[in-house]
Amino acid sequence: MSRNPTTRPIRLRRSVLSVPAINPRALEKTHAVDCDAVIFDLEDSVAPEKKAEARENLRNFFSARPLQGKERIIRINSLSTNFGLADMELVTALGPDAVLLPKVDEPQDVMAVGDLLSEADASEDLRIWAMIETPRGILNAAAIAEAGRTPGSRLDCLVVGLNDLRKETGVLPQPGRNYLVPWLMQVVLAVSAYGLDAIDSVFNDFRDEQGFDAECLQGRAMGFAGKMLIHPAQIEPANRHFGPDPAAIAEAEAIIAAFADPASDGLNVINAGGRMVERLHLVQAESLVHKARLIAARQAAARKTM
């Protein structure tokens, strides 16, 4: 099994809005909001007796008008439930950008869904995201992420789910998440080792702007790519906190320019504005500038449609 992260497309995942598939009005609003990705939820937000209706809502939504400029992720019910296989049939029929698996405990959970996608001849562009929201999921985060490095693996992203994790461990929902930080960092370490993204958990009180800002700042400092959201009001601050600031972009552009200088040919460490910079910083700078360009391109496209 390869231990080197493979190259994957750089994507914006600052704001990942979860929308109940049972709510057609909320589905339609996703066309107008400025989030980077939308999770169409068939699991926790849909009552058992409404699962079939939610699937039909998604079928109608995908066929009516394509969602432009955002990653489209369908969160299914576990394959161990009575709804999982029907959800997977819908996923292969609709062809979203990714399928999100709930309560992933071990690599085999990801591999089983990968096998179903392969058997259905699903496009290689259809990726897998995994919810890490159980004690076993946290303990096995590295093994789950490593499974994303196997040939043919579709795993792209781990999403932390703290509501279920708190429920199973008894950890109280306190500001600062002090007792949860080691577990959060374990997920970040796992994705960093194997070239995936990690998305921070939801913040439940969308009216608490100060608390949400603080948690975004914490998640960004930890190394999360973005945050899972429960309300459109959280999109703008998530984009702002997890997006590159102008000073960071300027510094990244300077690093790129310094390494592009012919005098830097063959050098792994150079002097850039009085600071010693390694070639690994060039890779980080190129990623940041690419994300900034993606943001600018989407903003320009949005202005044209206004």
Confidence (pLDDT) at 243: 92
Among 231, 256, 243, smallest CA distance to 292 is for: 243
How far apart are alpha carbons 101 and 77 in whole angstroms?
Answer: 7
Tell me the sheet residues that pair with 129: 100, 157
Three-state DSSP at 88 gives helix
Contact indicator for 198, 187 with CB cutoff of 8 Å: yes
pLDDT at residue number 306: 56
Strands (E) in the chain, as ranges, are: 15-20, 37-41, 71-75, 98-101, 127-132, 155-160, 197-200, 226-229, 269-272, 275-278
Q: What is the pLDDT along the chain (306 residues), one digit of tens a residue?
A: 334 444 577 889 999 999 999 999 999 999 999 999 999 999 999 999 999 999 999 999 999 988 988 999 999 999 999 999 999 999 999 999 999 999 999 999 999 999 999 999 999 999 999 999 999 999 999 999 998 888 889 999 999 999 999 999 999 999 999 999 999 999 999 999 999 999 999 999 999 999 999 999 999 999 999 999 999 999 999 999 999 888 888 888 888 888 988 878 888 888 877 788 888 888 888 888 888 888 888 877 766 665
Taking alpha carbons only, the member of 227, 247, 230 closest to residue 239 is 227
d(CA 185, CA 241): 18
Tell me how far apart the terminal alpha carbons of the chain are, to the nearest angstrom. Answer: 49
